[in-house]
Amino acid sequence: MTTPARNLPQLLTDAKRWFDDALLTSMRAAGEQPVTVGQAALFAALDEEGTTVSELARRTGVTRQTAHQAVHALIGMGLLEQVPDPASARSRLIRATAEGARVHRRAQGTLVVIEGVLADRIGADAVSALREALTAPMGEPPLVEAP
């Protein structure tokens, strides 16, 4: 029995996992505090001036409770902090601490190096084409008739 070809969403998930594994392993090897993939995704979704937990949950596609747990773990690590939201007395904004901003800059630089490794492995033209294809406007998700 032959294995069915992997569909594009599966291939994109595998590629994301490859980047996540490379980033988190490289950051740990460099002496940074270990974080989970979910915590890293939440951190990457932050606005510089701060973001509410509800908005972080929406951006990362997780429940508010899951985002809240990840935020509090990162606060405990000294990477994030809660501050009052100047637009709403009832809301709090989550933003990076100075240490969190340092780690984020280091992670961004590490991703550039990882992308360079990918270019060495599959070719710079392939990486450029991939970036171009993934940043092209796709429009709204289509409603199609299932076969």
Distance CA 96, CA 111 (A): 19
Tokens of 49: 């001036």
Burial class (CB in 10 A: 0-12, 13-18, 19+), 46: buried
| Average pLDDT, integer, range 33-53 | 94
The pLDDT tens digits for 53-88 are 999 999 999 999 999 999 999 999 999 999 998 888
Residue 2 has pLDDT above 80, yes or no: no
Signed CA dihedral, 34, 39, 44, 46: sign only: negative
Residue 9: per-residue pLDDT: 94
| Mean of all residue pLDDT scores within the chain | 95
Residue 58: per-residue pLDDT: 97
Q: What SS3 class is residue 93?
A: strand
The confidence band for 34, taking pLDDT boundaries of 50, 70 and 90, is very high
Between helix 37-44 and helix 98-122 the angle, nearest 10°, is 110
Is the Cβ–Cβ distance between 80 and 73 less than 8 Å? no
The pLDDT tens digits for 98-108 are 999 999 999 99
